[in-house]
Structure 1
Amino acid sequence: MEYTHLGRTGTSVSRIVLGTMNFGDRTPEEEAFAIMDRALELGVNFFDTANGYGGSGGRGETERIIGRWFAARPGVRDDIVLATKVHSPMVDPTSDGDVVNARGASAWQVRREAIGSLQRLQTDRIDLYQFHHIDRHISWPELWQAMEVLVAQGTVVYTGSSNFAAWNIAQANEIAQQRNFLGLVSEQSVYSLIRRSIELEVIPAARNYGLGILPWSPLAGGLLSGGSAPANSRSAELTSARADREEQLQSYERFAQERGWTPSALGLAWLLHQPGVTGPIVGPRTVEQLESAVTALDIVLNDDDLRALDELFPGPGGQAPEAYAW
């Protein structure tokens, strides 16, 4: 396994991140336990989840599965850098529960959901607490005040973002600096050979402020895995685009095959070669898929390989504004 620092922090994390969104939905608990066990054996020490994950198992079920895994393996918790998120509504709007404030990133909700995540995960801390989406109704002073309290209590170690625009990252960290607070140390964004728009502004902003990039949907919902993407993939809109990209994807698959690589490993390896990327978030449904993902670390892409992939999957042309202006 290869390790790197989480953004500008001194904490070391694996360059393959175990995403757990399928746990409790497409991956039953027994298989989820096996995946986490194998991840530790392979040296994967960075686990990512969210309060709202659970699918058919219900919101929060993924965190509960991870919590039961921790409980069944005493002493394992300190081997893991554990990330979760806050933003999703956690109460069924058809129920009689309090749903008025049970979503977003208000100080009320951040505190409430931190407590809920800790209980479900059966842990005393969240190593990386991430805002799952920008909440435009909340001011950064309110948000940072809530996070400062959680950090001071030892409940949260670091904070991160997900699906933020570049200006959100800049605003968040400028205000954090004014408050003598560390601020965001990572950003989760959709990023793959097929979806490269974050190269325009998000990656330059993240690198400037010392945020590690954690790509989600690194294989574009399965399009870069070879064959068709699953119908219920997170990038389901790309599933129907397979026919439109058939020639491009076949060329990509031949490129990988000629070099003895699987298409999925190549897609992950390309991300590992991109500046600012800490590690792609893989969401294996089986142990075999996790083991396949880790083989990406063995792939070394030379300049010719990278140029060929750029020609096959053109990006936006670099960072803004040079990508579209003189």
Structure 2
Amino acid sequence: MEYTFLGRTGLRVSRLCLGTMNFGYVTGESDSFRIMDEAVEAGINFFDSADVYGGPQTPDMEMGYGLSEEIIGRWLKQGNRRERIVLATKVYQPMGKGRNDKYLSAYHIRKACEDSLRRLQTDHIDLYQMHHIDRNTPWEEIWQAMEVLVEQGKVLYVGSSNFAGWQIAVAQGAASARHFMGLVSEQSLYNLTNRHIELEVIPACRHLGLGVLPWSPLAGGLLGGILQKEVQSERTSAAKSQMESLRPRLEAYEALCREIGREPAEVALAWLLANPDVTAPVIGPRTVAQLEGNLRTVGFKLPEEVIARLDEIWPGPGGEAPEAYAW
């Protein structure tokens, strides 16, 4: 396994981050335990979750929200494991039907953190990430709440997820005014099929010293060899429609992967890891076999000519703003 620093911090994390969104929803507890065991054995020391994980991401509050954290907590209690991992989770999404059971008010941040700590069966969260921007809560309130958690030792670092570049800048400006470290990472949607964050989010993270954690690195399976797989009947009509709309590119992509003798998922992850601004893609294996496939990416470096061909198949936004669209 390879390791790097999380943004401008002195914290070293593995170049692959184990995402646990499927735990308790798609993947049962025993298989989730096996995935975590295999991940640690392979050198992955970075685990990512969210308070809302464990059920489908819908407003229905009866679908097992919090189950992913509970599974991780029970796994941690099986042995001396807590100090072997950097544990990340998130706050923002609705966790109940009350008016203050969501978003980033100081009221909800405090309660959500306590609830996550209880489910995770730990006394601290290494990276506490805001799952989305809250346009109605001032940064003075958010940072004051986070400062209290840091002072109490319940949170070590704070990160963001799904923020725009300008929102990251505003957040850091407010944190600096309070002499607070602020954000150390941003978790964003980023893969070959969706390169929007190259415009402003990645440049903002680079300038301000934030690590970049791409989620959905395989584009929901589209980059995992979807055309090679025979069983498509279980996919939703929306997924099938997206696949068909991208078929020419997917055909070229999978042909390139066959040409270089690598699985499509390995190529998609290697492309992200070739970006010096990327800290660790957040992989979300549903099975041990999928985890083992992801691990084959470690140490695999894409040749420059292959990266150039991938750029032709999956063109980005044209570089960074404003040069991507202006002089």
TM-score normalised to the size of structure 2? 0.94
SS of the residue corresponding to residue 39 of structure 1 reads helix
Task: Tell me the CA shift for residue 232 of structure 1.
Answer: 8.2
Alpha-carbon distance between aligned partners in 2 of 1:271 and 1:238, rounded to the nearest angstrom: 23
What is the root-mean-square deviation of aligned Cα atoms in Å? 1.6
Give matches, 1:1-326, under 5 Å: 1-55=1-55, 58-73=64-79, 75-91=80-96, 93=97, 99-227=98-226, 239-326=240-327
AA of the residue aligned to 1:271:
L
AA of the residue aligned to 1:89:
P
AA of the residue aligned to 1:219:
L
SS of the residue corresponding to residue 297 of structure 2 reads helix
AA of the residue aligned to 1:201:
E
Aligned residues: 318
Deviations 1:60-89 (A, max 9, x none): 01100000001112x110000000000011
Alpha-carbon distance between aligned partners in 2 of 1:236 and 1:244, rounded to the nearest angstrom: 12
Runs of 5+ unmatched residues, structure 2: 57-62
SS of the residue corresponding to residue 297 of structure 1 reads coil
Deviations 1:225-275 (A, max 9, x none): 012597888x99554211121121111111111111100010000000113
Runs of 5+ unmatched residues, structure 1: 94-98
Alpha-carbon distance between aligned partners in 2 of 1:156 and 1:215, rounded to the nearest angstrom: 22
Change (3 A) 1:204 1:116: same
Alpha-carbon distance between aligned partners in 2 of 1:240 and 1:212, rounded to the nearest angstrom: 33
Alpha-carbon distance between aligned partners in 1 of 2:240 and 2:124, rounded to the nearest angstrom: 37
Deviations 1:1-43 (A, max 9, x none): 0000011100000000000000001000000000000000000
Alpha-carbon distance between aligned partners in 2 of 1:242 and 1:54, rounded to the nearest angstrom: 26
Change (3 A) 1:37 1:283: same
Alpha-carbon distance between aligned partners in 2 of 1:237 and 1:101, rounded to the nearest angstrom: 33
Q: Is the 8 A contact 1:8 1:210 kept in 2?
A: yes
Alpha-carbon distance between aligned partners in 2 of 1:185 and 1:274, rounded to the nearest angstrom: 18
**Worse-superposed segment, 47-56 or 163-172:** 47-56
AA of the residue aligned to 1:84:
T
Q: Which residue of 1 aligns with 2:59?
A: none
Change (3 A) 1:70 1:236: farther
Alpha-carbon distance between aligned partners in 2 of 1:90 and 1:163, rounded to the nearest angstrom: 19
Q: After the TM superposition, which parts of structure 1 deviate over 6 Å for at least 4 consecutive aligned residues?
A: 229-233
Q: Is the 8 A contact 1:223 1:239 kept in 2?
A: no
Change (3 A) 1:105 1:145: same
Q: Which residue of 2 aligns with 1:96?
A: none
AA of the residue aligned to 1:27:
T
AA of the residue aligned to 1:304:
E
AA of the residue aligned to 1:145:
Q
Alpha-carbon distance between aligned partners in 1 of 2:177 and 2:38, rounded to the nearest angstrom: 43
SS of the residue corresponding to residue 243 of structure 1 reads helix
Change (3 A) 1:209 1:127: same
Change (3 A) 1:232 1:165: farther
Alpha-carbon distance between aligned partners in 1 of 2:161 and 2:249, rounded to the nearest angstrom: 29
Alpha-carbon distance between aligned partners in 1 of 2:246 and 2:130, rounded to the nearest angstrom: 33
AA of the residue aligned to 1:59:
Y
SS of the residue corresponding to residue 82 of structure 1 reads strand
